[in-house]
Structure formats: C-alpha cells, structure tokens
Amino acid sequence: MAKLKTILILTLLMAAVATLQAHLEEDMEEERMHPSFKEEKSGKILLMAREGEDTNEFWLNMGKEFVRQQQKQQQNTNVAKNVIMFLGDGMGLTTLVAARNYIDAEHTKLSFEEFPYIGLSKTYSVDKIVPDSATTATAYLCGVKANYGTIGVNAAILRDDCQAMKNSSNHVYSIAKWAMDEGKSAGFVTTTRVTHASPSGVYAHTADRDWESNADIEQVCGADHGLDDIAQQLIYGEVGSRLKVMMGGGKSAFIDKTLYSQGWRTDGRNLIEEYQKQSPKYQYVETKEQLEQLDFSQTERLLGVFNDGHLDYHLDSLANPENTQPTLEEMTKKAIEFMQLQKDKGYFLFIEGGRIDMGHHDTKARLALDETKEFSQAIAVAREMTSEEDTLIVVTSDHSHTFSVAGYQDRGSDIFSLVSNADDKLPYEPLSYANGEGYYKHFDVKNSKRVNPEEVLKGEANDVFPATVPLDSETHGGEDVGVFASGPWSHLFTGVYEQNAIPHMMAYAACVGEGLKACDSLSDGSMK
Ligand SMILES: *[C@@H]1O[C@H](CO)[C@@H](O)[C@H](O)[C@H]1NC(C)=O
Ligand SMILES: [Zn+2]
C-alpha cells in the first residue's frame, strides 16, 4: 500500500515537473519569437517619435479625432469632370511604410494617405501569379486582364506572338480613349521612357512590351513584320496621335541610329521631327527650361522628352549640376495647367512615378523610397491644383516587390539604421529583399557567412540592400496593392477587387466608356 502511494506521488511529481518544463519551453519559445529586449533597456522608452505617446490622452484623442473625421465624411456623387490616375510603379505597402519613415521618422503621412477611400487591388495576370507592368497597365487602364509582357491586347495574345497581334479584334483600348471619345482631353506623364510599359498602356497595343522601336520588333518577328512599334503608335496611333500631353524620357526609341548616336531605330526615321512637322502648334521640349518657357497659347499638343532613356533618379538629378530634367512634380504641374486651359469637357491624365520599381529591382531601397517621396509630392500638387468637387484622383500601384521591413527597430530611429544582432553576432539591416542583386554584396559565399552590413551600406543613394536569393534583378511581389481615391465617387474604390475593375470605376464616375455611368443612374432619374 505504502509502495503504491510512493509511486502515485512520484508520478504526480513527474507530471508537475513535466508541466513546469513545458511552461518554461513555451516561455522560451515566446521569448524567441517576440523578444523582450530586456538586455537593451530597463523599462524605459529611449526614443519616442512624438511627445506624449506614453500617455493615455495622446492615443485616445487621436482615435476620437479620427472617428470625428470619418463620421463627417459625405459621399461625393458629383460627376467627375476630370480624372487623374497616379501610378507608383512597384509601390507595394511595405514601400509606403518605409517611405513615411524616409520622409521623417515615422509620423509623416504620404500625401495620398489622406484620401478618404482606400481599397486593395488584386494584381495577378491571366498567366502569372506575380505580374509585370505591361499586363497590369492593360488591367488598370483598359479594364481587361491579359498575359505577362503584353500591353493593350487581351489574353488571346501570348507574349511575342507576331501573327496574333495583327488581329485587331484582340486589341483593347484604355480609358484615355474612352475619355477622348466623350470630348475630354487625355495625356500622360512618366519618369520612364514614354514608350515604357506603364505609359504604353494608355495608347499602345503590343504583344511585347520591349517592342519600343522598329528594331526591337524586327529581332523577334523578322523584317516584314508589318507591325507598329510603340514609339510609332505614340506618334501615329489611333489613341497616341490624339493625346494632348506626353512627357517623360526615351528619345532613343524615336530616332534612327544613323541620325542620332543614341538612336535605336533602323528605318531611317526621326519620329519626333515627323510629329513637329504636323503642326507648328505641336510643341516639343527637351529641357526643364524649355518646358517652363513654353507658350501654352501657341500649344495644341505637348511632347516633352527629357532624356535618351528613363529620366534620372531624382537623387541622381540632385547630385548633377548639369541636370536639365524636370521633376515629376514639375511635369505634373505643367500637365495639369495645360489640361485646365483646354476647352474640352474635362480631362483624363495618367501620371507615373516609374522608377520606384527600378530602385527595387536593383535592391537599392534608398532610391525606391526617394522616388516614392517624389511621387507623393506630385500628388500633393495635383490635389492643390484641382477640386474634390469635380476631379477624381486615384493613386495606386501596378504590383508590389519582395521588399520587407523587418526586425524590431526602436520608434523614432532612422529606417536604415541597423538592428543588433542576428545569430551570427552581426547587426542586420531591417530593409531587405527576398531575392535580388543584394545577395552578392551581403553574403560572403566563399566563407559561408554574412558580410557585416556596415561594410556595404554607406548611407549613399546607391546602397545595395540585402537579398536572400541570388538574382541579377529582384522580382516583383504578388500581394495586393493599395488604391487611394479622392473626389467624385471615390467611395466606389473601397473593398478588395480585381485590378481591371479600376478603369471601370473611373469611367463610371466620369461618365465615359461603355459601362454603367454615374450620369445615367442618379436616384431621381434626372441627368446631371
Ligand atoms: C481574330 O480574332 C477573333 C477573336 O479571337 C477571331 O474570331 C477571328 O477569327 C480572328 N481573325 C483572324 C483573321 O484570324
Ligand atoms: Zn518592374
């Protein structure tokens, strides 16, 4: 009997120890996943982004103020006379978080975060989970999802299908055309080549985003291809030839290489000269100064091409005393000024911050964040120059990147500052990528170890950030992107929807296109 008792007690004791041990393990597991930073601090917040964040009042007042603002919100059901669509190429949500901090330690809002209505856009293409800027331009401008690498054509056309391209029943048209067909002006501004994927979505139909000049098509389809390259479509196309504003970079795609040393064409043509010859009021400018001095009373159409290739990154322009390129903000201002002078029934403008994407592709986060800041400023200017009463502004992105904001940095610290320490006893950078060129600089492959990020990241514009998988060019990311809307019918843009729904919502608000229109469906049956 005594023996049995002992066994029972022993068993209970063992069970208790086991429970205790499990608890300890859980605690350790908890500590491993959500460290308490006990060694670093003694219950005191070292840095606070704003005075008062350690009080109740600060947060309670902020929350109440937000509710006050939200409940005052009135739905704007005016017809949108004007629509401005801003596209931050490759501007995923993590880019926004990091860009806020880049602008100033953590409490600055990007201009478009103040917009009243926000939604999420699903970006996949017909053939890929993670899309590119060509197929997404087709979705958010033409309202149809298509295949990777194609622009202004439906998914019946695969990339590089020279023959199928000729069948125009597979072509799809952008909201720029829908707007012009209703008597509005249309145009675009970009920091990339004017023939690059996103702006091409406004006016081009092509089975390959790379067919920017005739030489590019010939390489794939042979000499007798019978297709119009993107530059040609801008100058002569059904939509391109009616655009009032076209600004960006990319002179090379327009001129023969024997006529211009940086030219790409091989057909002996200079399409910019051909455009200018059509009318003395078809103005062409190449520098910021020429743009500023342009006499709008003598301008019917405006073509601004400010570089052979893409425009320089803003940080590179700043560092270049010879810079002659306008900023995105300056181009935006001029484009809106010009549109406002037109006697048409309003306008559609597409404005792209196109190099956020390219900064990320090179895992140069600082460039990407600075381009995001520039993009935000251009939107602020557009909002100042227009009225919410008659202008719908939609800000979105085509796709995300593999960009990550990670680690437990203290509030108020610079987003680039390193976090200490990883398991290899080296500090790590909170901004990194799932793949890309950054791998090569941050991993010492020969010795199977990480390079101390302090040796790579110098606080310079061209700093290369770490990446996990070695890849020459970092890839896009597949998560949804934000859509921020302000002005007439901006409340339509709430929810989670397919990317190709975006132009249909803009068309509804502006009463253009073939779908349902705001002006047809007023509740009292009257027409506005
Ligand atoms: C063009 O495409 C349409 C739709 O896919 C198809 O019905 C038609 O037969 C095609 N025409 C030619 C000439 O291939
Ligand atoms: Zn890209």
Is 149:159 a contact under the CB 8 Å cutoff? yes
Ligand closest to the CA atom of residue 475:
2
Query: 22 or 387: which carries more pLDDT confidence?
Result: 387
Tokens of 504: 């249909």
Q: How far apart are CA 172 and CA 157, in angstroms?
A: 11
Q: How far apart are CA 464 and CA 442, in angstroms?
A: 9
Residue whose CA is at the smallest distance from ligand 1 atom 1 = 167
Q: How far apart are CA 15 and CA 98, in angstroms?
A: 49
Q: What share of the chain is helix, strand, coil (3-state, %, to 5)?
A: 40, 15, 45
For residue range 289-335, list pLDDT tens digits in order: 999 999 999 999 999 999 999 999 999 999 999 999 999 999 999 99
Mean pLDDT of 203-229: 96
Mean pLDDT of 259-288: 98
pLDDT for position 253:
98
Which residue is listed with tokens 């330690």?
Answer: 105
Centre of ligand 1 from the C-alpha of residue 209, in Å: 22
Query: 191 or 525: which carries more pLDDT confidence?
Result: 191
For residue range 359-379, list pLDDT tens digits in order: 999 999 999 999 999 999 999
Query: Does ligand 1 lie within 6 Å of residue 170's CB atom?
Result: yes
Residue whose CA is at the smallest distance from ligand 1 atom 7 = 169
Residue 81 has pLDDT above 50, yes or no: yes
Query: Does ligand 1 lie within 6 Å of residue 154's CB atom?
Result: no
Residue whose CA is at the smallest distance from ligand 1 atom 11 = 167
User: Which residue type sits at 389?
Assistant: E
How many CA atoms, within 13 angstroms, populate the side-chain half-sphere of residue 30?
Answer: 7
Centre of ligand 2 from the C-alpha of residue 94, in Å: 16
Q: Is 343 helix (H, G, I), strand (E, B) or coil?
A: coil
pLDDT for position 141:
98
For residue range 454-498, list pLDDT tens digits in order: 999 999 999 999 999 999 999 999 999 999 999 999 999 999 999
Nearby residues for ligand 2 (ion, Cβ within 5 Å) = 357
Ligand closest to the CA atom of residue 477:
2
Q: Is 359 helix (H, G, I), strand (E, B) or coil?
A: helix
For residue 489, give the DSSP letter: T
Greatest distance between any 2 Cα atoms in the chain: 114
Tokens of 325: 């390129």
Query: Does ligand 1 lie within 6 Å of residue 167's CB atom?
Result: yes
pLDDT for position 528:
45
Q: Is 36 among the catalytic positions? A: no
Residue 260 has pLDDT above 90, yes or no: yes
Catalytic residue among 133, 213, 432, 486: 133
Is 281:297 a contact under the CB 8 Å cutoff? no
List, in sequence order, the alpha helices (H) in 328-391. 328-341, 356-361, 365-385
For residue range 400-459, list pLDDT tens digits in order: 999 999 998 888 788 999 998 899 999 999 999 999 999 999 999 999 999 999 999 999
List, in sequence order, the alpha helices (H) in 34-92. 56-72
Instruction: Record the pTM.
Output: 0.93
Please state the length of the chain. 528
pLDDT for position 24:
82
Q: How far apart are CA 115 and CA 528, in angstroms?
A: 25
Quote the mean pLDDT of the chain: 93
Ligand 1, residue 168: give the atom nearest the CA.
1
Query: Does ligand 1 lie within 6 Å of residue 169's CB atom?
Result: yes
Q: Which of 6, 185, 178, 166 is nearest to 82 (CA)?
A: 185
User: Which residue type sits at 169?
Assistant: S
CA geometry: angle at 446 spanning 441 and 450, to 5°?
Answer: 45
Q: How far apart are CA 415 and CA 162, in angstroms?
A: 47
Out of 121-130, 247-256, 415-424, least confident range: 415-424
Q: Which of 370, 363, 373, 479 is nearest to 429 (CA)?
A: 363
Distance of alpha carbon 428 from the chain centroid: 27
Is 105:413 a contact under the CB 8 Å cutoff? yes
Residue whose CA is at the smallest distance from ligand 1 atom 12 = 167
Partners of 495 in the beta sheet?
A: 119
Residue 186 has pLDDT above 70, yes or no: yes
pLDDT band, very low/low/confident/very high, at 41 (cuts 50, 70, 90): low
pLDDT for position 421:
86
Phi, psi of 449 (to 5 degrees): -150, 165
Tokens of 288: 């910021």
Residue 40 has pLDDT above 60, yes or no: no
pLDDT band, very low/low/confident/very high, at 21 (cuts 50, 70, 90): confident
How many CA atoms, within 13 angstroms, populate the side-chain half-sphere of residue 51?
Answer: 0
Ligand 1, residue 167: give the atom nearest the CA.
1
Q: DSSP assignment of 125-173, as one string? A: -SS-SS--HHHHHIIIIIS----TT-BSB-TTS-TT-HHHHT-GGGB--
User: Which residue type sits at 41?
Assistant: K
Residue 42 has pLDDT above 60, yes or no: no
- Produce one character per residue of 353-386: b if its CB has 16 or more CB atoms within 10 Å, e if not: bbbbbbbbbbbbbbbbbbbbbbbbbbbebbbeeb
CA distances from 131 to 35, 389, 391, 394, 482 (A): 36, 35, 30, 21, 16
pLDDT band, very low/low/confident/very high, at 46 (cuts 50, 70, 90): low
Residue whose CA is at the smallest distance from ligand 1 atom 3 = 169
